[in-house]
Structure 1
């Protein structure tokens, strides 16, 4: 199987047409006609990720986050992300990003999070993609729900906005950095909004408008992308590995 054939198969499930206009899903580095030797799945692509792919004889890295979101105006191979591009090109390792096309897909990342949190009757908001809304089987108080989210997603520490004491039944969820959707969700009947990268002003807005909000972090709402892709790629008759170098970039005291 050629590298481009594997990606064509993947895009039949998660087409690039799904991606947001600002996004850069797709090939970041392409050696189109190389025979596929192995796939490494990684949330981010760091220099160690490329080294890991090389050591395991994987010549295709499929990441969630694109290596580049904007065009490069200059190139200095000593600094990230140019150093990753340099090492990948030198070793003829292709890099492909499945980003917002995976988030938005009906069978993609937010769909997966709904299932992982055991939400029922969930659906994507057609006019507010990629936000999903679903319901808990049974109502929960906010404290119980916070600990449930923390445990289920394996989050060591999280922050939240508690703006009312109503029980939690209807949940809105959007992986990654979707906190600004809070401004549009104010008109929807939801009890809590789960996302990542919640900023100060978004938190104040939620608090003042009676919307509970959980910052489950960018990392821990998106690290599950590898589980999704593994299921779609496992029949390719080629080795597929999950990167051991994915890590949350923050330290805490």
Structure 2
């Protein structure tokens, strides 16, 4: 099997046509005619990720996050992300990102998160892709629901906005940096919004408009992307490895 054949199989589930206009899903580096030795699956592409691919004889890295979203205006191989490009190219490792194409797809990341939370009757909101809305089976207090989300996503610490004390039933969810959808969700009948990267002013907006929000972090709402990629690629019969170098980029005290 060649590298492009593995990616064609992946794109049958997560076509690039689904990505947002600002995104950079697809090949970041391509050695198109190379036989595929193995695939390393990652959330982010760090320098250590490339070293991990080399050590495991994988010549294709498939990540959720693109290595870069904008064109590079200069190149200094000693610094990130240029050092990643340099090392990967030097070792003939292809890099492919399935980003918003994975977020939006019917069997993609936000669909997966709804299943993980055991939501019922969930669906993607057409005018708010990739936001999903669903219902928990039994109403519960916001405090109990926070603990449920924390346990389900295995989050050591999270922040939240308490804007009302109603029981939680209807849930909106959108992985990663989707917090700005809060400005449109005020027009929807929901009890809580789960997302990541909630900003100060968005939090105030949520409080003032009676929308409870759980910031489950960008990392913990998207780390499952590796499992989704694995589920869709294992039938290819090639070596598949989940990276050991994905970790949240800050510490708490």
Query: Scaled by the length of structure 2, what TM-score is found?
Result: 1.00
Per the TM alignment, residue 106 of structure 1 is displaced from its structure 2 partner at its CA by 1.1
Partner of 1:152: 152
Q: Distance in 1 between matches of 2:131 and 2:53?
A: 33
**TM alignment of 1:24-173, pairs within 5 A:** 24-173=24-173
Per the TM alignment, residue 237 of structure 1 is displaced from its structure 2 partner at its CA by 1.2
Runs of 4+ in 1 over 4 A off after TM superposition: none
Q: Distance in 1 between matches of 2:140 and 2:227?
A: 28
Q: Distance in 2 between matches of 1:154 and 1:41?
A: 20
RMSD of aligned alpha carbons: 0.4
Q: How many residues align?
A: 253
Partner of 2:239: 239
CA deviation string 1:32-57 (max 9, x = no partner): 01100000000000000000000000
Partner of 1:192: 192
Residue 227 of structure 1 pairs with residue 239 of structure 2 = no
Q: Distance in 1 between matches of 2:236 and 2:105?
A: 21
CA deviation string 1:142-173 (max 9, x = no partner): 00000000000000000000000000000000
- SS of residue matched to 2:235: coil
Q: Distance in 2 between matches of 1:235 and 1:252?
A: 39
Partner of 2:175: 175
- SS of residue matched to 2:128: coil
Q: Distance in 2 between matches of 1:176 and 1:163?
A: 22
Query: Scaled by the length of structure 1, what TM-score is found?
Result: 1.00
